[in-house]
Structure 1
Amino acid sequence: MINLTLPEIRRLITALIMRHAPPPAHVWSWSHWRRRRQHQARLSHYRRRGHPLTQLPLQY
């Protein structure tokens, strides 16, 4: 038997993790929260550097 390869280790870890995946509603709400926070960070970044803040659209 050969040793485990990196792709095989990745596949095994993914299979183990996905067995107990969170509900889809949780995944979508977390994604929405993350994108909203990234947008807020972008605004803060520009504000701190003195750039004029025109209404930056949320980029989804």
Structure 2
Amino acid sequence: MKVSELRGKDEVTLTKELNELLKAQFSLRMQLATQQLSNTSQLKKVRRDIARVKTVMNQKDDK
């Protein structure tokens, strides 16, 4: 997910995207805890996507 794509979205869409990413992160953490996660790099990608979405949301609030 690119920042330029996120900047084109409105607040409602960004909130939905954030909620989906948080659910995905929870699911990945549960898979990791139960030793079912084979690709651990997914955790890093989801965590960084969450940070990107939150950053864009904060930037939109400042304007």
Q: TM-score, normalised by structure 1?
A: 0.45
From the two aligned structures, give the one with the greater helix fraction. Answer: 2
Largest Rg, 1 or 2: 1
Q: TM-score, normalised by structure 2?
A: 0.44
